[in-house]
């Protein structure tokens, strides 16, 4: 019976090469997000505490050779970094897309502080002034509703604690 390996090399050599490349890429991507996280750079120890993944595992993943990693470890790491797409560590396209989204969120947060979110939205997305204004109003409403809900939940929690 003939095997179809889609030009990925022959037998275990091709698989072994692919595993090595993937392990190395996972380590590079993990190191990148750890060092360039929107909330600020973090040490391996901080990531270990935040994710529940051992410092030894994180160091092994970030090493030049990389390491085998279990799916639950990938999920813990990405989730603890605020990234919901596990493929972030595995797929170059997802990695690039999520990094663009993270950069935009940082710009929006900085712009909000500076009070220029409508200009930034218009410049970065090419949307009209009206659409940017509508989106800005919706974002303000969402943030306001979230703050109210948080206040109510905190109030309920303190009422039940009495």
Mean pLDDT (the chain, rounded): 80
Question: Burial, 135: exposed, middle or buried (Cβ in 10 Å; 0-12, 13-18, 19+)?
Answer: middle
Q: Are 23 and 68 in contact (CB under 8 A)?
A: yes
Return d(Cα 151, Cα 145) in angstroms, integer: 10
Domain boundaries, the chain: 11-92
Return d(Cα 78, Cα 87) in angstroms, integer: 9
Provide the pLDDT for residue 6: 43
Q: Which of 30-34, 46-50, 89-93, 116-120 has the lowest mean pLDDT?
A: 116-120
- pLDDT band per the 50, 70, 90 thresholds, residue 129: low
Higher pLDDT, 22 or 52: 52
pLDDT in tens, 99-117: 988 888 888 777 776 666 5
Q: Which CATH superfamily is domain 11-92 in?
A: lambda repressor-like DNA-binding domains (1.10.260.40)
**pLDDT greater than 80 at residue 154:** no
């Amino acid at each position: 019976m003939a095997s179809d390996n889609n030009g990925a090399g022959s037998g275990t050599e091709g698989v072994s090469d692919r595993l090595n490349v993937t392990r190395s890429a996972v380590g590079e991507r993990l190191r990148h997000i750890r060092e360039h996280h929107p909330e600020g750079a973090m040490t391996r120890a901080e990531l270990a505490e935040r994710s529940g993944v051992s410092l030894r595992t994180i160091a092994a993943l970030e090493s030049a050779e990389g390491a085998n990693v279990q799916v639950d470890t990938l999920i813990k790491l990405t989730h603890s970094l605020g990234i919901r797409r596990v493929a972030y560590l595995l797929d170059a396209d997802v990695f690039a897309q999520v990094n663009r989204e993270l950069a935009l969120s940082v710009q929006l947060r900085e712009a909000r502080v500076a009070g220029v979110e409508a200009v930034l939205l218009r410049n970065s997305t090419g949307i009209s002034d009206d659409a940017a204004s509508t989106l800005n109003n919706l974002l303000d409403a969402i943030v306001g509703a979230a703050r109210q809900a948080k206040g109510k939940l905190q109030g309920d929690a303190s009422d039940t604690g009495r």
